Structure 1
Amino acid sequence: MSNPTQLTPDFTIGHLPCHHFQVSAATPGQVVAERFEQEPDLPGVIITHESQVLGMISRVKFREQMSLPDRVELYGQHPIRSLLDFIRIPPLLLSEKWKIDDAVQASLNRQKDLIYEPIIVVMENQSLRILDVKTLVIAQSQILAQAHKIIQRYRVERQKYQGIIQQEQAKFHQCNELLKSQQRQTEKSQNTPSSQEVALVKQAEEIAQINQRFVRIAKLISSEGRQAFQATFQGANSICHNTDKILGVGKAIANDLETVNRTSRTIREAIEQVRHLAVQVAVVTNQMGSQPNGLSQVSLEIGRLASKTFELGTQMEQIASRFKLRVHELTEAARAGANVAKSVTIKIDRAEMALLELEELISEKDFNAPPPIAQPLGVRKSVTADSLVKEIEHAEVGVSELEDIVKQQDSSQYLIQKIQQALKSKKP
């Protein structure tokens, strides 16, 4: 693997440069020696047997054994496993995911003579690599150096921010002192009110007095208005009651007029019978050849009485028609008065609701006891109420006149009595 230029604490030993030198247990020692001569940076050799790791011989241990007399001849021609069995150094196998710091700690926890022995790194694909402890320690030192630089940078930034904070604190203290001085000046100015403030206070007092007077006037308006509305309401109720009576009287008069009409029709039928009788008397007189004076005079009087009776019946019908027209007008006036009275009553109810709202608004205020008002407010009469009273009075006068006429002239009885008297006085 390539050597990373920038290491971080999260890096593992798999990111570090490793060596790949792996031989079988039957490989002669001379082959291993030649390889060490060819690659001076090679830290050791991994010995395996049928894909199983038997152990690891470092370059240092291999040279120690080969530098002794007769060891080159002894181990150079024999398999490398014989040298491994003689040295008997347990290998340190670590996964490539081990952190660099943890791998350093694991290496340092070995025996003192084995601290610098290379480490066998097991990769994810189960291949084996050799990691030099020197490379591991250098990587750790680089990480520590970078961490130290980061700490130093943070310290510099902290000092810079501390300086900025101190400057801001100094500005804050200055602003605080300035604010305190302004508050002191404001308190002093508040203790000595200006002419504008005095004028405002005076205006506020005048407004309060005007408000109190307005409340007193509103209370008086509410009380006087309530009394006037109650009286108007009672009058309107009385008007409605009287109007109902007028309508009842008008209906009774109309019924009486209908009776007069029937009587007039009866008189007309009697007149026709009288005329028929007069005609028969004239026929009988002509048949007799001679006309008695008494019978002819009765015939003449019967004719005159029939004519007068017919005229009186016609006049009575005309009077009845006029009575009907007046009763109709009286009824319409009474109904109009009732409608006006009902409208006035509705308006009075609305005005009373407005007065109730005004009283509630006044009750929410808490003022001192009001002084008495010099001149009480007058309550003007409503134009609508006056017109309503005049219409009802006019209707009552018309009804009284109608009743007097009906009492003074009983047309049907008068005509019947006159016919009876005329017939009695003219009997032969």
Structure 2
Amino acid sequence: MGNLDRATLYATLGDLPLHDFQVNLNTSGLVIAKQFEQRPNLPGVVIMSETKMVGVISRRRFHEQMSKPAQQKTFLEQPIQMLLEAELKRRKARSLILLDTEPIDLSARTALNRPAEEVYEPIIVMFQDHSIPEVQAYFLLDMYTLLQAQSQILMVINQEMSQQRAILEEKQQQVQEEQRKVEEYTQLLEAHQGVIQERNLLLETQQVELLEQAREIAQFNKRFMRIGQLLSAEGQQTFQATFAGVNAICHNTTQIVGIGRSLTDELHTIQDTSQLIAKVSQQVRHLSVQAAIVANHVGVEMAGFSHITAEIGKLVNQTLDAGRQMDRLASRFHSRVQALTDSAQSGTTVAQSLLQKIEQAQIALTELEMLVQGPIQSLTETDSSLTLGLSPNIQDATQELMQKIATAEATVTDLEQFLHRRDSEPLIQKIKRALEQNRHNLSP
């Protein structure tokens, strides 16, 4: 009905080889004896009363009863019920009944827990359909078969345990390998932690340095803000003064140009007057010659001499007018030169003011250079090189401008001295005296 090969760890009694041999109460012992003889593996017989089981007689107990000659004839010829009743009186325990779903291991332990005389008695396996509870089927299980199944199950368990042990050993080796790796990882982790701690210390040091640099940068920013404000203020003042000075110089230059044009016109007038005086002088010289001739010829009529005297008087008057005109031109020329001198002096003053502003700007740049050179040496070299490159240019331009201003002042001074030296008044006075002397000499 079953097979021992199906005896696994989770097998039940229904999976084992079972024996089906059931008789009723009226069956004779001879029939049962013949079945035992024909079926040597049959462990016993199930005795039924209609559909109800009333007991079990094992092969061993049946042969014990038949081994007595006095009882053999009686039990073989009589119904099996008599033998069953005798057995029930003699036995202290009832037959073991187990369900077909009972696990083999648990069933073996239950069967072995029976009294000693009942240990090897067959086990009744009952099959029952839960949908039809009143219908039941009974089979016999040999204790030897149950022990074989249990042995096979134990063997399977041992095999599984061996496999599990091998797996466990393999796992242990893996665990040891993992432990070794964990130790290596732990050492690496400790080494990394040491490196991390060193890096943390380095980061903390760098953070402190960064904070210090940040404070220095903040101080630098404050210094640069002050320098910017200083440069802005000085630059605005310098540019304002420069624009004002340029405007003043342009205005003075315009005045100087106007004065130069006026001087040009006055010089033309002086040139014309000089030409007139030269012409008058020639005429006076000519008249003087004529007067000398007349004086040598006293015997000649005086009418021609009077004419000469009248002409000389006219020339003297013209010479006086020309002298006065020369005086007026000299006065105007003197005033123009004075105005030109004042304009040049004003331009000089403005230029000197610009020089002062430039010097102040240069001082501010020098202070900027000193402030930058203090905290930052690397930046100082570049900034100082730029500043030192600009300072000589500013100084050269300043010196050149001062030289030009000195040259302009010297030119104006020379012009004034030249005008004083070239004053027309002595010339006019000399002409007047010559004319008066000639008139006195020519008078009758």
Same fold, TM-score > 0.5, yes or no: no
Give the TM-score normalised by the residue count of structure 1: 0.45
Higher helix share: 2
- Bigger RCO (CA 8 Å, 6+ sep): 1
Q: What is the TM-score when the length of structure 2 is the normalising length?
A: 0.43
Of the two, which has the highest radius of gyration?
2
